[in-house]
Amino acid sequence: MEPDAVGALVDALGTDLRELCSAAEQLIADTQGTITVGTVNTYYAGRFEATGFTVADAAAAGNVAKAVTALRHALATGTDPVPIVAALAMKIRQLARVAAMGGRRGLTARDLGMAPWQAERARRELSGWSDDALAVAIQAVARADAEVKGAARDPVYAVERAVITICDARRGRLPKQSS
């Protein structure tokens, strides 16, 4: 099995080892030769594990289609809106921390209250984010947090609006300022 095919299988099925082993056995039984990404996609296209973190990563990248698809899949498979908003908050908070410390030399991930891989990933993901866009994303998460905890009637709509607002902010589509 090609390494990329293993990654595609994990993306499609999640991290449950029993399910992954079963799927690998099935692929071996049903195919011949090396298992490729194409083979995995043929058998498992459209399936992927969607968590709040999947949604947050896609939203922070500005990928509306992937973020909304992951959000709807997560909700359809029983994920409550509250932990999805918590994952969005964590992602945006990490980006904001790294952005705020960006010009300071000698700061470590520990100084930011993050694991080294989280700080490095946030540094890479900051590309394309402006301070104004981060402010809009922070406000969207704060609003969604209140709404999914009872300040609004429809928590699903609240989290979807937050995801779209974060994607738009990342893509430079900021709300117009009222004067």
- pLDDT tens-digit series, residues 157-168: 999 999 999 999
Q: Are residues 99 and 128 in the same domain?
A: yes
The model's confidence at residue 14, banded by pLDDT at 50, 70 and 90, is confident
Q: Which domain holds residue 16?
A: 3-44
Joined tokens for residue 56: 């947050």
* Half-sphere exposure for 64 (CA within 13 Å, toward CB): 10
Q: Are residues 116 and 166 in the same domain?
A: yes
Q: Are residues 16 and 33 in the same domain?
A: yes
* Number of structural domains in the chain: 2
Work out the percent of the chain whose per-residue pLDDT is above 90.
Answer: 50
Q: Are residues 63 and 24 in the same domain?
A: no
pLDDT at position 177:
63
Q: Are residues 10 and 82 in the same domain?
A: no
Q: Are residues 143 and 98 in the same domain?
A: yes
The model's confidence at residue 153, banded by pLDDT at 50, 70 and 90, is very high
Average of pLDDT values for 10-39?
86
Cα–Cα dist 59/163, whole Å = 6
Nearest to residue 97, comparing CAs of 73, 115, 71? 115
Q: Are residues 38 and 75 in the same domain?
A: no
Q: Are residues 115 and 27 in the same domain?
A: no
Q: Are residues 59 and 118 in the same domain?
A: yes
**pLDDT per residue over 33-62, tens digit each?**
999 988 888 887 665 667 899 899 999 999
Give, as one character, the DSSP assignment of residue 173.
Answer: -
Residues in the chain: 179
H helix or E strand, kind and range, residue 178: none
Q: Are residues 148 and 117 in the same domain?
A: yes
11-20, 29-38, 42-51, 112-121, range with the lowest pLDDT: 42-51
Within-domain flag for 145: yes
N-term to C-term CA, the chain: 59
The model's confidence at residue 126, banded by pLDDT at 50, 70 and 90, is very high
Within-domain flag for 179: no
Burial code (b: 16+ CB inside 10 Å, e: under 16) for 33-62 equals eebebebbbebbeeebbbbbbbbbbbbbbb
